[in-house]
Amino acid sequence: NAGVMQNPRHLVRRRGQEARLRCSPMKGHSHVYWYRQLPEEGLKFMVYLQKENIIDESGMPKERFSAEFPKEGPSILRIQQVVRGDSAAYFCASSGVGDIEAFFGQGTRLTVV
């Protein structure tokens, strides 16, 4: 049973480009969380999704950021028109229905140049 897989591990984008970050949850898990770690800061909640539903997106910036978790395939965090301030490590975690434990992926480090 593979753990939570995130790809790519490192992503470099120029200002104005789009960034797509992927998260494949553990087998059997239907809940995904996305977190962002800005330099010198802790983990900040962004969005909580279940399959085909966004449950809580209170931590998502209002513009340029979107997330989805389709019925088939990985969860995608999409950042349009990236700016330097988007440079951060983005982590996802997954859990199963009724589980109280969440498992993390290795993270994607986004650098905007």
Partner 1 sequence: ILNVEQSPQSLHVQEGDSTNFTCSFPSSNFYALHWYRWETAKSPEALFVMTLNGDEKKKGRISATLNTKEGYSYLYIKGSQPEDSATYLCALLSSNTGKLIFGQGTTLQVKP
Interface with partner 1 (CB under 8 A): 4, 31, 33, 35, 41-45, 48, 55-56, 91, 93, 100-107
Contact 11/108 with Cβ under 8 angstroms?
A: yes
Instruction: Give the residue with the Cβ less far from partner 1, 22 or 80.
Output: 22
Phi, psi (rounded to 5 degrees) for 90: -115, 120
Backbone region of residue 64 per phi and psi (left: phi > 0; alpha: psi in -120 to 50; beta: other values): left
Please say which residue, 25 or 105, places its beta carbon nearer to partner 1.
105
Smallest separation, CB 104 to partner 1 (Å): 4
